[in-house]
């Protein structure tokens, strides 16, 4: 029992990442009808926003300390980060410690800007081209973005720690009446899950309860009619593309402490996220979220030793297996809309 609860919790954080990326993918697909293979790269760029902010905050001024010498006999160099110099040692160290949450503030405008740029410069010209062309050009873009990041940050994973306050783990089992140390769950993963719920809730309520969201939903249902009513639907869809990029970026920023960012993390997540979108149903936002969590948790169940003993290797293929079964039995996915991508 405790193993099952633990695996459910373990599945939640991966599921959150899948759900956030798949949500963005579906938003783009539902509004613009574009299959965006570069979405994983946006996730990766988000993670590297966290890395960049951390690097900027730890930019240091080097002073010489004449009282101490290093092993060569030169005066020892002391690195003082600029933030510590400006705000004092305590506050400065605190700011550096909280660099990942601070990165969120920077990531939102950056990701929205990147999304805008992508849509305006590239994707816009592909609305009337076949889906295969959209896949190919965004696949090319994904390679380019990945290589650019690799050029600037190198090929090795860059550790990006979470704030010290969240460094430990919560003994979750005690809260629900198990013995101590049976279900231990890192704080940051819990935060990641809560954060993703907030973001998902935010996107849904934005679409549900604002006029802007209403227009976008109307545009998803019938783009032409909304256009005929004198509403500039293209502009709104561009904004939605920016929001989708921001969602992927936020997922990346917060994921940085869980897995040290490297340049191919986007590609790794992309394939799985596409599977998630297809399982959830092309064009269905709730479907994407549901399928994201479902597959994340299933994947973590499949890595239980008891299950691996019955079917060896199942943890490696469970997601693909589920996707194949669902595509063949429920071609529209779990919650797919009728008439979407059914040629």
Determine the size of the site formed for other proteins (CB under 8 A). 39
**Residue 90 binds other proteins, judged by CB under 8 A:** no
Taking CB under 8 A as the rule, which mask of x and - marks residues 201-240 in contact with other proteins? Answer: ----------------------------------------
The rounded distance, in Å, linking the Cα atoms of 20 and 252 is: 9
User: What are the residues facing 79 on neighbouring strands?
Assistant: 62
> What tokens were used for 192?
């990641």
Give the number of other Cβ atoms within 10 Å of residue 6's Cβ.
Answer: 19
Shortest Å distance, C-beta 314 to other proteins: 9
Give the number of other Cβ atoms within 10 Å of residue 286's Cβ.
Answer: 15
Residue with tokens 């003082």: 80
**Residue 140 binds other proteins, judged by CB under 8 A:** yes
Shortest Å distance, C-beta 179 to other proteins: 33
Task: Pick from 3, 76, 324, 330 the residue near other proteins by CB under 8 A.
Answer: 324
Nearest Cα residue to 46 out of 322, 341, 259, 336: 259
Task: Pick from 93, 104, 143, 239 the residue near other proteins by CB under 8 A.
Answer: 143
Task: Pick from 56, 141, 190, 304 the residue near other proteins by CB under 8 A.
Answer: 141
Taking CB under 8 A as the rule, which mask of x and - marks residues 42-81 in contact with other proteins? Answer: ----------------------------------------
**Residue 321 binds other proteins, judged by CB under 8 A:** yes
The rounded distance, in Å, linking the Cα atoms of 146 and 125 is: 22
**Residue 133 binds other proteins, judged by CB under 8 A:** yes
* Subset of 101-130 contacting other proteins (CB under 8 A): 122, 125, 129
Residue with tokens 């994947």: 299
**Residue 137 binds other proteins, judged by CB under 8 A:** yes
Residue with tokens 């993390």: 265
Shortest Å distance, C-beta 69 to other proteins: 36
Distance from CA of residue 140 to its chain's centroid? 20
The rounded distance, in Å, linking the Cα atoms of 27 and 119 is: 13
Task: Pick from 275, 290, 295, 298 the residue near other proteins by CB under 8 A.
Answer: 275
Buried b (16+ CB within 10 A) or exposed e, 221-240: eebeebeeeeeebeebbbbb
Closer to other proteins at the Cβ: 169 or 327?
Answer: 327
Task: Pick from 65, 120, 271, 330 the residue near other proteins by CB under 8 A.
Answer: 271
> What tokens were used for 294?
């479902």
What percentage of the chain's residues is helix, strand, coil (to nearest 5)? 70, 5, 25
The rounded distance, in Å, linking the Cα atoms of 3 and 10 is: 10
**Which residues contact other proteins (rule: CB under 8 A)?**
35, 122, 125, 129, 131-133, 135-137, 139-144, 146-148, 151, 267, 271, 274-275, 278, 282, 312-313, 316-317, 320-321, 323-324, 327-328, 331, 341, 343
């Amino acid at each position: 029992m405790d193993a099952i609860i633990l695996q459910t919790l373990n599945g939640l954080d991966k599921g959150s990442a899948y759900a956030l990326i798949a949500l963005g993918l579906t938003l783009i697909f539902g509004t613009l009808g574009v299959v965006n293979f570069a979405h994983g790269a946006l996730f990766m760029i988000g993670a590297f926003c966290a890395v960049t902010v951390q690097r900027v905050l730890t930019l240091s001024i080097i002073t010489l300390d004449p009282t101490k010498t290093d092993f060569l006999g030169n005066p020892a160099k002391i690195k003082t980060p600029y933030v510590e110099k400006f705000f004092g040692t305590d506050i400065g160290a605190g700011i550096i410690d909280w660099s990942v949450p601070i990165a969120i503030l920077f990531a939102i405008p950056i990701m929205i800007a990147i999304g805008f740029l992508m849509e305006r410069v590239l994707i816009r010209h592909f609305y009337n081209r076949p889906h295969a062309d959209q896949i190919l050009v965004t696949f090319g873009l994904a390679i380019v973005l990945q290589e650019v990041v690799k050029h600037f940050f190198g090929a090795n994973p860059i550790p990006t720690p979470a704030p010290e306050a969240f460094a430990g783990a919560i003994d979750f089992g005690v809260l629900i009446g198990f013995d101590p140390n049976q279900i231990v769950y890192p704080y940051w993963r819990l935060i990641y899950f809560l954060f993703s719920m907030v973001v998902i809730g935010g996107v849904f309520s934005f679409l549900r309860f604002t006029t802007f969201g209403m227009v976008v939903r109307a545009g998803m249902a019938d783009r032409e009619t909304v256009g005929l009513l004198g509403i500039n639907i293209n502009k709104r869809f561009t904004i939605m593309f920016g929001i989708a990029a921001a969602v992927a970026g936020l997922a990346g920023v917060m994921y940085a402490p869980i897995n040290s960012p490297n340049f191919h993390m986007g590609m790794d997540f992309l394939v799985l996220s596409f599977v998630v979108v297809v399982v959830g149903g092309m064009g269905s936002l709730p479907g994407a979220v549901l399928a994201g969590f479902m597959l994340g948790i299933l994947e973590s169940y499949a890595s239980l030793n008891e299950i691996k003993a019955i079917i060896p290797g199942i943890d490696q293929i469970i997601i693909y297996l589920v996707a194949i079964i669902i595509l063949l039995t429920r071609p529209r996915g779990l919650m797919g809309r009728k008439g979407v991508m059914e040629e």
